Amino acid sequence: MRNDDTDEFEVPEIAASPPAYERVQPKYFGLTPHVLVGVLGVAALLAGVALLAGGSVAVGVLLLIAGLFLAALFAEQARRRRSSSLDRAAAAAIDQSLALAGFTRATITSWTNAGRRAAKLRLEAMKLARERSHVQYDLGAAVHAEDEPRVKELRAKMRELDEEVDRRGRDAAAAIAAAQRRTRAERRAVSTTQVRRRWTS
């Protein structure tokens, strides 16, 4: 049975928008938990130093260990959250410190390896130079004796030794240059490091 009193109407379209979520952080004494952890860590470090200065070694060491643990926990949370200016400042300081530590480690490793290789090559070059001196002395004797086959052999030996000495000198210089390039590249990486806020849903 049809009801003629029923009218048709259009349902207005509602613009689809993604839902917005807000994460509510608990607060203790007006501070979020990770900030409270940082405050407690600093307090424990200061108290540990004061107790060590006052002669209470055992309690001071325990407080220092607890303070370091709490500070590390705060640093990890700050780097992960980056939600407040304090978090971002702490995260930036930590990221910069880690970048500088990586730069220092890479620089020391590069220059240690380069120095070791260059020293080895220069030592080999010195040994070859001494051998060349002996060959040159023998060449003078062969020229004086007019021993042409021996002169030809010793001249070829001297040319070979000269090439070996030059090659080791070039390799040593290349090792130092490679360490310099690595240091410059690491320095550029540290200077261009930018901390960006990580957005999470």
Which one has a higher pLDDT value, 151 or 5? 151
Round to whole Å and give the CA distance between 49 and 60.
Answer: 6
The tokens describing 165, both together, are 């000495």
Regarding pTM above 0.85, the answer is no
Enumerate the β-bridge partners of residue 31. Answer: 28
5: tokens are 């009193």
Task: Look at residue 123 in the predicted model and tell me its pLDDT.
Answer: 93
pLDDT bin (cut points 50, 70, 90) of residue 200 is very low
pLDDT digits (tens, 9 = 90+) for 153-176: 999 999 999 999 999 999 999 999
Residue 201's pLDDT is 41
Q: Which residues pair with 28 in a beta bridge?
A: 31
**pLDDT-based confidence at 45, cuts 50/70/90?**
confident
Per residue, what are the HEC states of 122-177?
HHHHHHHHHHHHHHHHHHHHHHHCCCHHHHHHHHHHHHHHHHHHHHHHHHHHHHHH
The CA–CA distances, whole Å, from 124 to 112, 120, 165, 167, 200 equal: 18, 6, 8, 11, 59
How many Å apart are CA 74 and CA 67, to the nearest integer? 10
Indicate the DSSP class of residue 40: H
Percent of the chain beyond pLDDT 70?
75
